[in-house]
A and B are shown apart, each in its own frame.
Chain A
Amino acid sequence: MTTSASARSALTVNILQRTGETFAVALIYYALARIGLQLQLAQSQASPVWAPSGFAFASVLLLGYRAGGGVFIGALCANLVDFYVKNGGGEYIEINSFVESVTKYPNHVLLSALIAVGNTLEAETGYYLLRRFTRTWSLPFSSIRDVLVFCGITPVMCAVSSTIGVTSLAAMNALSMTLFQPVWLTWWLGDITGILIVSPFIITWWHIGRFNFEVTSVSASALSLVVLFLFSAMTFNEWFDVSLFRKAAYLLFPILLFVTFRHSIETATLAIFVTSALAVFGTIHGRGPFVREDQNESLLLLQGFVSVISVTVLFLTAAISERRRALEAAIDARRRLMQAQENERLRLARELHDQTGQSLATVMLELKDLELFIVADGRSRLALMRNKLEQMGKALHHVAWELRPASIDELGLESTLANYVSEWRAQFAIDCDFHCQNISLDDLTDEVRTTIYRVIQEALTNITKHASSATVVSVIINGESEALQLIIEDNGGGFEARSTPEGRQNRDGLGLIGMRERLSLIGVTLVVESLVGTGTTIFARIPV
């Protein structure tokens, strides 16, 4: 019972939601269409950018085929009102006279419906084609192929709307056949630019936060957009009256490219939108570089410009996105490689230590036992063999220990490090002081523990190789609230002391790069401070 009741209420919610969506799509479409009709060139009555097309396409992409209903209703209303206004109805619609006008001209209703069908089919065709030709549209505009498909299908889908619309007009004698071709072209181009400019903007802002771009601050993006806005206004609306800008729209390109490179895809699509809006607004009001005697020429120049910036920016963001993904994949591969190497070392060390070491111990014990049965002469030879085996065992142990001390996993990192440091101190006769506080290293992930161990190992090796004058070395691990700080300091010669390019390159070339790479794989940057005659300090703050 409750199940069916909750199912029914879920259904109700669903119906309500869909109705709401349809209504919202219709309303926005209608509003954009009304605004679009205001943004026409005086003589040709053509909108350079038909924003409703872009909106319709975006809503079908985001909501699916069902968004078509809203598009149809919005388009129908917009066209009916347009006929009403053009028949002298005035800008403010009076319901009575509107109904009167609709009943008086039934063919306007039919025509409006046909045009609305064209508008709806345009968006749905685009959706179908996009799904047909892109593999995944889960992260829009993030691959060059997807952008290529998007730009390729736009003219095709727009031909659907313009053909249906203009044919209907001609068939119902609302348009003379001689005007068929130019009107069709204007319609088609207006829809194309509308889609190129408005759809990416809506789609990317709808998905905001899903794009894994470098997090740049909102204020930096806003600042860039303000700069772009000012320069666009200077170019198209003759602000500040800089004559160079009024003539050369291409001067905006560096700014647009900067915004695209520096900021997120959302900012880039907003940038397209800002520049295009100002271009349309200025040109319609007879300002800016695209104003010509012949309005058709003016229209084409404007449409060409906005289409080019949109396509350029979209391709660029896709390329940046692909590059970023390739980099991430490379880092991931390096991490896995590092992990595989570590696993292999562990396996080898265990094998050497537990298997071979055990066999060796057994053999030596057997030899000892054998001594009892052998004459004095043979005993001394046996002792010699045992001696050799003893050396082998030592070497074996050392190799296993260097590969990866079993104690990291068995006794914990802290005692392993303390032991490593004391072995190192004994071997190289350099005072090395290990101090670990406020943190339990064994709560860290395996990757972080291994990284810490390897970085310290490498740092100490570096000191023996490059800072042999060091007499005091500190290895410090200090736990903080959300990170641990790793510091390795020596009082050796410091970097500039070996300021021959070769020396520095060696140091940077081998030791530091290895440490940097290891740390970068867990997202940590290495800070190195070195002073002549004072020594070198290495800092790494590792989040935990």
Chain B
Amino acid sequence: MSGKSRVVLADDHPIFLTGLRSLIRATDDLEFLGDASTGLAAFKLIGEKRPDVAVVDVSMPELNGIILCRRVAAEYPLVRVILLTLHEDRAYLDQALQAGARGYVLKRSAGETLVHAIRAVAGGGLYIDPSLVGRVFDSSRDLFGPRAAKGEVELVELTVREAEVLKLAARGFANKEIARKLDVSMKSVETYKARGVRKLSLTSRADLVRYASAKGWLADI
């Protein structure tokens, strides 16, 4: 082995592809093996050349980058895929990682970051565009604690009224409707609800719905 990382490129925009090509060629430790401008052609090329790294555009005709990535991960697990994309939404990133991509690079910053990305991925790492990294770790899991249903740890005792009010609230009834159903005042509904939620140490209405769902409260409607 020469120690060079062998690279295949796939993008349906010819000028962009030309840019990428010269970027790879200008880098000493990278070897350019070939390129393709459709998803199917790229898959074929990868099968033939078995590169270390395949740099693949997400939106390509015939076979989009995500599906291509999934196929490559299944059939040629040694080939590592870096997805190139215009999408900055985190939703797309989640999807790319699920498909087995080892790198996720924004097209806009490809000039700066792609070479680093290829090196990192070829070395067995995972590379995510710096401008997206902040968002990955910014999710609810890290900032506001776990969002799992808290159904397991019920040591507190709810009063009958509190439980009734919470059940109805979890099913999506407004306070006014709950007050009418239970024949109590709006103010009391609010009080019962607040007390019950505090006892169960739930933080939001969505938390309450999750809790109710785990307890099976929503099933017997």
The answer to whether the Cβ of A450 comes within 8 Å of any Cβ in the partner chain is no
Interface-facing stretch out of B37-45, B90-98, B118-126, B154-162: B90-98
B10-32: CB near A (< 8 Å → 1, else 0) gives 00010110011011001000000
B160-203: CB near A (< 8 Å → 1, else 0) gives 00000000000110111000000000100010001000000001
How many residues of chain A are within 8 Å of chain B by beta carbon?
Answer: 56
Tell me if B207 and A433 are in contact (CB < 8 A): yes
Interface-facing stretch out of B48-56, B71-79, B105-113: B105-113
Tell me if B209 and A369 are in contact (CB < 8 A): no
A354-B59, A365-B16 given as contacts; is B206 within 8 A of A433 (CB)? yes
A456-502 interface (Cβ within 8 A of B): 472-476, 478, 480, 485, 487, 489
A353-B86, A419-B89, A529-B176 given as contacts; is B107 within 8 A of A358 (CB)? yes
Tell me if B108 and A415 are in contact (CB < 8 A): no
A480 and B175 alpha carbons, distance in the complex (Å) = 19
Nearest A residue to B147 via CB reads A433
Residue of B23, B87, B204, B221 near A368 (CB, 8 A) is B23
Nearest B residue to A434 via CB reads B206
The answer to whether the Cβ of B210 comes within 8 Å of any Cβ in the partner chain is yes
Nearest B residue to A383 via CB reads B112
Q: How far is the CB of A301 from chain B (nearest CB, A)?
A: 53
A361 and B209 alpha carbons, distance in the complex (Å) = 44
The answer to whether the Cβ of A397 comes within 8 Å of any Cβ in the partner chain is yes
The answer to whether the Cβ of B215 comes within 8 Å of any Cβ in the partner chain is no
A59 and B95 alpha carbons, distance in the complex (Å) = 68
A365-B16, A529-B176 given as contacts; is B140 within 8 A of A422 (CB)? yes
Tell me if A537 and B205 are in contact (CB < 8 A): yes
Instruction: Note all chain A residues with C-beta closer than 8 A to B86.
Output: 353-354, 357-358, 361, 397
Instruction: Note all chain A residues with C-beta closer than 8 A to B209.
Output: 435, 437, 474, 476, 478
The answer to whether the Cβ of A348 comes within 8 Å of any Cβ in the partner chain is no
Instruction: Note all chain A residues with C-beta closer than 8 A to B153.
Output: none
Tell me if A362 and B16 are in contact (CB < 8 A): yes
Tell me if A475 and B26 are in contact (CB < 8 A): no
Tell me if A390 and B59 are in contact (CB < 8 A): no
Nearest A residue to B134 via CB reads A426
Tell me if A489 and B205 are in contact (CB < 8 A): yes
A422 and B190 alpha carbons, distance in the complex (Å) = 28
Q: How far is the CB of A111 from chain B (nearest CB, A)?
A: 72
> Which of A360, A365, A366, A369 has most chain B Cβ within 10 Å?
A365
Tell me if A407 and B91 are in contact (CB < 8 A): yes
Instruction: Note all chain B residues with C-beta closer than 8 A to A426.
Output: 135, 138
Q: How far is the CB of A469 from chain B (nearest CB, A)?
A: 16
Q: How far is the CB of A433 from chain B (nearest CB, A)?
A: 4
Tell me if B91 and A416 are in contact (CB < 8 A): yes
The answer to whether the Cβ of A52 comes within 8 Å of any Cβ in the partner chain is no
Tell me if B204 and A527 are in contact (CB < 8 A): no
The answer to whether the Cβ of B143 comes within 8 Å of any Cβ in the partner chain is yes
Tell me if B19 and A474 are in contact (CB < 8 A): no
A329 and B221 alpha carbons, distance in the complex (Å) = 39
A420-431: CB near B (< 8 Å → 1, else 0) gives 001101100001
The answer to whether the Cβ of B5 comes within 8 Å of any Cβ in the partner chain is no
Tell me if B23 and A474 are in contact (CB < 8 A): no
Q: How far is the CB of B3 from chain A (nearest CB, A)?
A: 23
Tell me if A369 and B26 are in contact (CB < 8 A): yes
Instruction: Note all chain A residues with C-beta closer than 8 A to B210.
Output: 435
Tell me if B203 and A472 are in contact (CB < 8 A): yes
> Which of B143, B176, B221 has most chain A Cβ within 10 Å?
B143
The answer to whether the Cβ of A300 comes within 8 Å of any Cβ in the partner chain is no
Instruction: Note all chain B residues with C-beta closer than 8 A to A366.
Output: 15, 19
Tell me if A367 and B91 are in contact (CB < 8 A): no
Tell me if B204 and A489 are in contact (CB < 8 A): yes
Tell me if A365 and B89 are in contact (CB < 8 A): no
Tell me if A433 and B135 are in contact (CB < 8 A): no
Residue of A365, A405, A438 near B20 (CB, 8 A) is A365
Instruction: Note all chain B residues with C-beta closer than 8 A to A367.
Output: 111
Nearest B residue to A478 via CB reads B172
Tell me if B111 and A418 are in contact (CB < 8 A): no
Instruction: Note all chain A residues with C-beta closer than 8 A to B23.
Output: 365, 368-369
Instruction: Note all chain B residues with C-beta closer than 8 A to A478.
Output: 171-172, 209, 218
Q: How far is the CB of B165 from chain A (nearest CB, A)?
A: 14
Residue of A372, A474, A534 near B204 (CB, 8 A) is A474
A368-B112, A476-B209 given as contacts; is B174 within 8 A of A537 (CB)? yes
Tell me if A531 and B204 are in contact (CB < 8 A): no
A370-422 interface (Cβ within 8 A of B): 372, 386, 389-390, 393-394, 397, 401, 405-407, 411, 415-416, 418-419, 422
A426-B135, A431-B144 given as contacts; is B16 within 8 A of A411 (CB)? no
A474 and B204 alpha carbons, distance in the complex (Å) = 6
A321 and B190 alpha carbons, distance in the complex (Å) = 45
Q: How far is the CB of A246 from chain B (nearest CB, A)?
A: 46
Residue of B16, B140, B144, B206 near A474 (CB, 8 A) is B206
Task: Name 5 A/B residue pairs within 8 A (Cβ), A-sorted.
Answer: A364-B110, A366-B19, A368-B23, A435-B209, A489-B204
Besides A474-B207, A537-B205, 5 other CB < 8 A contacts? Answer: A393-B108, A474-B206, A485-B172, A487-B205, A534-B190
Chain B residues in the interface with A (C-beta under 8 A): 13, 15-16, 19-20, 22-23, 26, 59, 86-92, 94-95, 106-112, 131, 135, 138-140, 143-144, 147, 171-172, 174-176, 186, 190, 194, 203-207, 209-210, 213, 218, 221
